[in-house]
Amino acid sequence: MRIVVNINDDSIEGDPVLIETTSLSDAISSLREIGKITQSDIMCAFMEDKKERLQKYTSCIYGWDVDKEGNMKPNWEEQKIIESMKAMRNKGYSYSKIANTLDSMGIKGKKGGRISGNMIKRSISNPIHERALEFTEN
């Protein structure tokens, strides 16, 4: 495999940079050195791009389903449960009390297990749920 990277960016001082290598890790290391970026920065940018395009970026997110192409679509039943979680939280319920309430109603997590207080906290604070408004409920 031959990898050629041509960097011509106004934010980088000097002449354009050409990197030619046969190793992907060498190319990434060179880019990191040139731009003073870390592997974590690269992964964060990759994940943010996936989120922006509503593409699968993690194993699973309560309130969302993923199609064969990796596109995220709202799971309306779970979205309604998230709204209920928010309403209970606004009434002063603790995350644990919300989890216990949902458990007593037989509501399960994305993978079929018990909903935890931490899952409640993550679900109601995840800004991705605002993107559900871009879709119409079936």
So what's the pLDDT on residue 98?
97
Write down the residue that tokens 């559900």 correspond to.
Answer: 132
Structure tokens at 21: 């290598």
So what's the pLDDT on residue 74?
95
CA–CA distances in Å: residue 98 to residues 73, 93, 105: 25, 6, 11
Cβ pair 3, 27 in contact under 8 A:
yes
Comparing CA positions, the residue from 89, 86, 97, 99 lying closest to residue 127 is: 86
Phi, psi of 30 (to 5 degrees): -65, -45
So what's the pLDDT on residue 24?
81
Taking the whole predicted model, whether its pTM rises above 0.85 is answered as no
Instruction: State the alpha helices, DSSP H only, in the chain.
Output: 24-35, 39-52, 76-90, 95-104, 117-125
Chunk the chain into consecutive blocks of 10 residues (it has 138) and report each block's average pLDDT, rounded to whole numbers: 72 68 79 68 83 86 93 95 97 97 95 94 93 84
